[in-house]
Amino acid sequence: MGYGDIFCAEHFLAMLLIGILAVLLLSRNVLSERVHQGSMWIILLTCAMLIAQDLLESYAQLDPSRRELRLISSVLGYALRPVAVLGFLLVIWPVNRPRWYLWIPAALNGLLYGTAFFLPLTFYFDETYSFQRGPMNAAAFVCSILYLAVTLLMIHRRFRDRRIGDIIVIYLCTLGCLAATVMDIYISRFTTVPAILIASMTFYLFLRTQDLDHDVLTGLWSRLSFYEDCRTLRNTVTAVASLDMNGLKQINDRGGHEAGDQALQTIAHALRGIMSRRVIAYRIGGDEFMVLFLRCGELEVRQCMDTVTEEVGRNNLAVAAGVALRQEGDYTLEDMIRISDQRMYEAKSGYYRLHDRRRERRER
């Protein structure tokens, strides 16, 4: 290996990706509230250190007199690899959950590789200055794979309400990091860092896209997403629910628009509680909401709607809801939307008639 071989295309790609992602993070202050944007910087800084470490190790490899430098850089590389993968997990880890214990495997991994200074447990250099693996050399890769497995599990749990195509993209990013880690084990190429950076950039763009597809106030899917899903999912929709908040004007009059926004967020929270890949909730505008049920039976639909109305009622709020099922008359999607709207307006009229009668009795 000569000096011209130290800096390779993988290093250039990784540096380019770090620069692009850093600019994106600096120019955009807000991502989805469900992720920890600051952890993106852990990925960037760790990957930058790994690039410097790999260059330093390649330089030290040229001359046996640089054995100590090569040893230090190798230990640093093995210690940092799982940290870079951990950063990806930290991005999607729930913001209200403790995070410190996620660092324990990475810390133990770093301590284990630190033994290379006096024991050949993980790796060593023989008399010819060739790199030799020790009996515990795979620890860094096992730690990275563990983090990737937890990341896959967390993606499944936290983004289950996303479109299946979006989820596949994120799964592929994570599996790509896993494949790069395995390649690092067997062919010792600088592949993990570019893979992690590509996955991170893809995930960042995914989050930005999700922000555009979602309503800013409630976090539910937007009106535009509703129309798109009606077009692409029309054959799998078995029921539609229309919801409209009761009494929003009175809440705004009493407590201002901030109180009204909090009420809408309360309803959205109740709707998010039933959301899954088969139950998708949207804020259409103002105090109007829609829910599409994909391949759901009548019992499941009724249970979901009862859950929402009970949750809203526990917060001293009320919604008028109308439900239409395809099986009622072999309806088209347009039929179900129209009928659910009609039933919702009927429920809303009944609520206000009852409310007005109660108000009249109180005033007498």
Residue 133: phi and psi, rounded to 5, are -80, 140
Render pLDDT for 65-92 as a digit per residue (tens, 0 to 9): 999 999 999 999 889 988 988 888 888 7
DSSP for 293-354? EES--HHHHHHHHHHHHHHHHHTT-EEEEEEEEGGGTT--HHHHHHHHHHHHHHHHHHHHHH
Max alpha carbon distance in the chain (Å)?
102
Render pLDDT for 203-228 as a digit per residue (tens, 0 to 9): 777 777 666 778 878 888 889 889 98
Q: Give the global pTM.
A: 0.66
**Run of H or E residues at 132:** strand 131-133
Lowest mean pLDDT among 3-7, 38-42, 158-162, 194-198: 3-7
Rounded distance between C-alpha atoms, residue 40 and residue 91, angstroms: 6
Decide: 260 and 251 in contact? Cβ < 8 Å.
Answer: yes
pLDDT band of residue 187 (cuts 50, 70, 90) is low
CA gyration radius for the chain?
Answer: 27
Domains for the chain: give ranges and CATH numbers.
3-213 (1.20.1070), 223-363 (3.30.70.270)
In the predicted structure, residue 156 carries a pLDDT above the cut 90: no
pLDDT at 363: 40
List the beta strands (DSSP E) in 34-122.
none
